Structure 1
Amino acid sequence: MDQITPRLTQAAVWTPDGIDIRTLDIPELAPGDVLVRIDLATVCGSDLHTVSGRRPAACPSVLGHEAVGKVAAIGDGNRPAVVGDGGSLVVGDRVVWSVTVPCQQCPRCASGFTAKCIGVRKVGHESARGDWVLSGSYAEHIVLPRGTAIARVPDAMPDSVAAPAACATATVMAALEAAGALTGKRVLIFGAGMLGVTAAAASAECKAATVRVIDQDPLRQRLSRAFGAVDDDGDSTDVAIDFTGAAAAVQSAFGRLDIGGRLVLAGSVTPGPPISVDPERVVRRWLTITGIHNYEPRHLAQAIAFLGATGEQYPWAELVDTPVPLADLTRVLAPTPPGILRSSVSPHTCS
C-alpha cells in the first residue's frame, strides 16, 4: 500500500434503535481497494426514506452514498483507473465515487448495464454484519472495493458542490442521456428537489427551448428559477422527466407529450399504483417511454465536468445546508429546512 493505513475509524451505524456512533476497525485493503477519508457527505432523500421505513434496506448498516473525500490508501497491485481523465489514482487525490460496484463479468455488465449487475453491491446499502462494513459515507473513512468507479474532483470545486455528484448529478446525466438531444426542445420536469433543479440547469445548458418545472412546494418551485427553469404553462412538451415517482405526476407527464415526445422516468423506485397507457396514443403520436435507475461510470465523469463548467453560473453550494458533526447525524436524517435541498455531515468535525 502507498502509506500507513489508519487502524480505526468512527462510523454512524444505523440500527433498529437508531444511529449508533461506533469505533470500527479499518480492514486490510485487498488489491485495487481504496480507502478514502470522507470530507463531506450529503444526505440523499433515499436515506431519509430508509430511516423512515419507506424503503427497505440492510440493517444494521453504514448509510450514505453522496460524498467527497481524499484517497488515504490504495491496496497493493494495479492502481485503479480514474473515470473521465484516464489517469491512475494516487494517494491524496480528491475524489467522488459511484453508488454501484459491479462484477464486470455478468451478461448485464457485458452489455453495458453495470448499474444493474446481477451481483451488484452498493455504497451505503450493505450490511454492517457482512464483509464490507465501511460501505457508507456517514463515517470518517470508507473502503471502495476494486471496480468502484472513481472520479477526481477539481481543487476549486467546493465540497458541497462535489458531494451530490455521486448520486443526484450523475443520475441527472443518465436521465438526460435517455431523453436524447434537447437542443430546441421543450422540456418539462416533475419535481424540484436536488435532481429536478439539476436537470433544469443541465437542460438549459443543452440549449433546450424552454425548461418548465412543476413542484407542489412553492418554495422549491421558485428555487428552480435560479437554475434555468420557468413555471409551467400547461402546454404540451417534447420531453418530460419525472423525479417524483408519484403515479399522478407520471400520468400527467404522459398526457403532456406532443408528437414524437419522450417520457423519462427516474423517480419510480418503489412500488406504487399503475398508470394508464393507451397503446393507440403511443403508436399514433410516436411516443417513447423509458426509465433509468442508477447510472454508469461515464455519467459520474459527466457530472463532475458539468458542475465544474457551471459553478459560477448556478448557486450550487446554496442548495446544501451547513454540515453537522457525525455525532449529530440523527438531527439531519429528517426533511431538510425550507430552501435547502441537501443536509450534510462533516465526519471529522467535533461536536
Structure 2
Amino acid sequence: MTSKATAMIFTSEGKPFEKQEVILNDINSNEVIVRIVYTTICTSDLHTFTGRRSTPCPCVLGHEIIGEIISKGQNINKDYNGHLLKIGDLVTWCVYAFDANGKMAKKGIPQKSEDLYKYGHHKFIPEDGLNGGFATHCVLKKGTAIFKLPDFLSHKQSAPINCTHATMAGAIRIAGYLENKNVMITGTGMLGLSACAMAKESGAKNVFALDINPERLAYAKKFGANKFIDAKLSTSEIKSLLSKNEIDVIIDTTGIPSVMETGLEILTIGGTAVWIGAVFSQPATQVNAEMIIRNLLTIKGLHNYTPNDLGYAVDFVSKNHSKYPFEELVGEEFPLEDLTEAFEIAKSGKHYRVGIKQ
C-alpha cells in the first residue's frame, strides 16, 4: 500500500492552495483508503474559496470525488447496495459519514446527524487522515455509504454524481409524483440541468427552464427541457406566458429570494415548491402566508441527501449516460498541482464544472 499522499491545502479566502505531503496512517476495520482518480470543482467549493461560505481551516476541499480502493478494513466487504467490494474497484460515496443509530438517521435525515463527518468540509488534521477530493488519496470513515461504479461510465460522468445528481435525486423524491405534471426548474446551472433530465425521465408533461442566461436556457434543451422562460421577465409577464400551462411543481436551484417568491406566485393551486439553492446568506425571502393557505401550496427544503438518493443518482446516470451529455458538463481539466489555476478558471463561470484528474 502507498504510505505517502499529497494534499492541496486550503488555508484562507483567495489564497493559493498549499501542497503538503501526508503520511497515510493505518486504517481500522471499518475504514477504506481510495486513490482519488477524479474530482470536480463544485459551486460550494468556489463559495468557500471566495469567502462566501465559511469552512474550518486548514481544509482539503473537494467532495465530488471518485476513487479506486487500495486498502479496506476487514469489515468492509460490500457496498451500500450489497455488491462485493475488492481492491481496485472504482467507487463513489456519500459526502458525509454518519451513525446509522443516531437520532437524525432514525428520523430518515442522516445528512443532519449530530456528529456528521463531511468530506471536503472537515478540518484537515494530518493524524486524522485525508478527507477531501483535492488530494491523491481519501480515507473513508466508518458510516460512509459507498457505491461501486459501473465500468462504462467515464470519470467526467461519474465525479459529480455524489453531489449534483444525488442532491437532485433527493429534490425529485420530495417533489413527489411528477408524471403528467408541469415542472419548472429555476436556474439552469449544473443542478438545474440534472433536474431537467430527472423530471423528464420521471414522466413530466412539460419541463420548463427559467434562467437569465439565454445560452444556458438553450443548452437545457439537451437535458430534457422543452419550455423556456426568460427570468428577466416580470412575474405578471411570466404568468401571461403560462396561461395555458399551470405549474404543478417548481424546483429552485438559484437560492435567490426574488426567484423563489416568483415561483410561489406562479404555482397552481395545490402546487409544490422545492427549494435547494439557498445554501448561502441572502436577504430574507418574503412569503405571503394568505396566498400559501388559500392556494394550498407546499414548500419543501432539502439540504444534501440520503444514501438512497445517491443510489438513485448512480442508477440514473448509468441508465441515461448516452441520452444526456453529462460528460460535456466538465469543460476543462487540470492536474492536481495546478489546482489554484483550475479554481480561477472555475470562478469565471465559463464551464459548469472543471475537473481535476490524477
Q: Same fold (TM over 0.5)?
A: yes
Q: What amino acid is aligned across from residue 351 of structure 2 in structure 1?
A: I
1:345 and 2:343 are equivalent in the alignment: no
Note the C-alpha offset of 1:121.
1.1
Query: Does structure 1 conserve the Cα–Cα contact (< 8 Å) formed by 2:59 and 2:124?
Result: yes
1:93 to 72, 83, 89: 89
Distance 1:131 1:240, change over 3 A: farther
Note the C-alpha offset of 1:256.
1.1
Note the C-alpha offset of 1:217.
2.0
Note the C-alpha offset of 1:284.
1.9
Deviations 1:230-281 (A, max 9, x none): 3126424100011111111111111111011000000111222222222222
Taking structure 2 as the reference length, the TM-score comes to 0.92
Q: Aligned ranges for residues 1-351 of structure 1 at < 5 Å?
A: 5-16=1-12, 17-75=15-73, 77-83=74-80, 85-129=81-125, 131-229=127-225, 230-232=227-229, 234-235=241-242, 236-334=246-344, 335=346, 340-346=351-357, 348=358
Distance 1:288 1:55, change over 3 A: same
Deviations 1:170-190 (A, max 9, x none): 000000001101000101111
Aligned length: 341
Q: What amino acid is aligned across from residue 180 of structure 2 in structure 1?
A: G
Separation (CA, whole Å) in 1 of partners of 2:332 and 2:257: 33
Query: Does structure 1 conserve the Cα–Cα contact (< 8 Å) formed by 2:25 and 2:127?
Result: no
Note the C-alpha offset of 1:338.
6.1
Note the C-alpha offset of 1:126.
1.0
Note the C-alpha offset of 1:339.
5.8
Separation (CA, whole Å) in 2 of partners of 1:71 and 1:285: 51
Which secondary structure does the structure 2 equivalent of 1:98 belong to? strand
Separation (CA, whole Å) in 1 of partners of 2:202 and 2:84: 30
Provide the alpha-carbon RMSD of the alignment. 1.5
**Greater alpha carbon shift after TM alignment, 213-222 vs 153-162:** 213-222
Note the C-alpha offset of 1:38.
0.8
Taking structure 1 as the reference length, the TM-score comes to 0.94
Q: What amino acid is aligned across from residue 328 of structure 2 in structure 1?
A: E
Structure 1 unaligned segments of length 5 or more: list them. none
Which secondary structure does the structure 2 equivalent of 1:198 belong to? helix
Distance 1:94 1:250, change over 3 A: same
Query: Does structure 2 conserve the Cα–Cα contact (< 8 Å) formed by 1:108 and 1:116?
Result: yes
Note the C-alpha offset of 1:130.
6.7
Note the C-alpha offset of 1:341.
0.6
Separation (CA, whole Å) in 1 of partners of 2:298 and 2:136: 44
Q: What amino acid is aligned across from residue 58 of structure 2 in structure 1?
A: P
Note the C-alpha offset of 1:105.
2.7
Query: Does structure 2 conserve the Cα–Cα contact (< 8 Å) formed by 1:219 and 1:339?
Result: no
Which secondary structure does the structure 2 equivalent of 1:343 belong to? strand
